[in-house]
Amino acid sequence: MSESSDARVAPGSAGSPGPRVSVVVATNRGGPFLAEALASVAAQTLPAAELVVVDDGSPEPEALRAIVAGVPAARLVHRPPSGVSAARNAGVATTTGDLVAFLDDDDRWHPDRLRRHVAVMTARPDAVVSYCGMRTIDAAGAELVAADQRPARDQAAVVRGPGVMLPNLVIRRAAFDAVGGFDPAYRQGEDLDLVLRAAALGPFAFVDDVLVDYRHHPTNTTRSHRDLATSIRTILRRHRDAALAAGSTDVVVAYDERLAANDRFAWWSAGRAVRGALADRRPGAAVAEAGWAVRFAPAAPLRVVASRARGLTR
């Protein structure tokens, strides 16, 4: 870590006037990793003001209750199944902290995570969001992908994608309320929508350390790459229109670049699906995936070729 813990009273802790952090976990399962996720909150060097676990219609509520009961500081809120956006909004509505952090039920935090974010946001009162480095780990906790987040100097940089995602951000409660929380209309990409709306309010601060482990494993809640690419496009176009209406030319350019990147993601995802279908001897599925990519972003391959050609001629 680039900064070690010390014995001084940290901002946001008892006896300190710094901001207090509320932590919200929305889940519809107990899962094999929830206890570890909650334990990583309980182990913070700067304790959270509160830890709210929202049961979004779990089919085994008693099992979930037993896991949460093992963490004395946690509070469980039951809701009928309504989707992760509504569940997170409901969780935030019960909190009292000045800052809000979100934890997925299979991720985990470094013990200094909250202290580092609070320190940065105390030093940067203009920052509406802070975000840190985040690596990807497997089910056993081994690193799969190293952290690659980087600072974003302005709104356009946030739009281009410096690696700000829900698992690695902390947002001011006032900013969360100002943007209206998560939009339940989005079943996918809701965290991107929140990040983009927050970026329009003010600057983001970067905590230059790897403080979050994002877990990739076979029981992750998988989402269709087709639906995800479509949802991201819808969100980006909506925010691009707002930037265009506001006359923010540099932000519009950034949205155009992010839309092109989403097209490349669609082709990459479809290509992976095609290879998988062919390996499984399902040629019809392979053709369907290729056809979807062509319909979704017909010009994407030509743009990639043109970009590479420009690079060769320079």
Domain endpoint, select from 215, 240, 273? 215
In a domain, 185, yes or no: yes
Looking only at the bridges linking them, the beta strands covering 50-56 and 74-79 are: parallel
| HEC assignment per residue over 13-81 | CCCCCCCCEEEEEEECCCCCCHHHHHHHHHCCCCCCCEEEEEEECCCCHHHHHHHHHCCCCEEEEEECC
Indicate the residue among 215, 238, 266 that finishes a domain.
Answer: 215
Q: Are residues 125 and 240 in the same domain?
A: no
DSSP structure string for 123-166: H-TT-SEEEEEEEEE-TTS-EEE--------SHHHHHH-SS--G
Of 176, 196, 215, the domain-final residue: 215
Tell me whether residue 16 is in a domain: no
Q: Are residues 238 and 101 in the same domain?
A: no
Q: What is the CATH number of the domain that holds 122?
A: 3.90.550.10
Do 111 and 245 fall into the same domain?
Answer: no
Q: What are the DSSP calls for 237-303, one per residue?
A: HHHHHHHHHTT-HHHHHHHHHHHHHHHHHHHHHHHHHHHHHHHTT-HHHHHHHHHHHHHH-TTHHHH
pLDDT of the residue at 8: 36
pTM listed for this prediction: 0.88
pLDDT at 301: 87
- What domain count does the chain have? 2
Tell whether 161 and 199 lie within a shared domain: yes
Query: In whole angstroms, what is the distance from residue 309 CA to residue 305 CA?
Result: 6
Q: What is the pLDDT along the chain (314 residues), one digit of tens a residue?
A: 433 333 334 455 444 567 999 999 999 887 789 999 999 999 999 999 999 999 999 988 999 999 999 998 899 999 999 999 999 999 999 999 999 999 999 999 999 999 999 999 999 999 999 999 999 999 889 999 999 999 999 999 999 999 999 999 999 999 999 999 999 999 889 999 999 999 999 999 999 999 999 998 765 554 589 999 999 999 999 999 999 999 999 999 999 999 999 999 999 999 999 999 999 999 999 999 999 999 999 999 877 666 665 555 55
How do 50-56 and 21-27 pair as beta strands? Answer: parallel
The 3-state DSSP class for residue 206 equals strand
Domain range spanning residue 273? 225-313
Is there a single domain that holds both residue 177 and residue 289?
no
Residues 167 and 245 placed together within one structural domain of the fold = no
Do 72 and 164 reside in the same domain of the chain?
yes
Whether residues 60 and 201 share a domain: the answer is yes
Nearest to 198 by CA among 222, 174, 232: 174
CB atoms closer than 10 angstroms to residue 5: 13
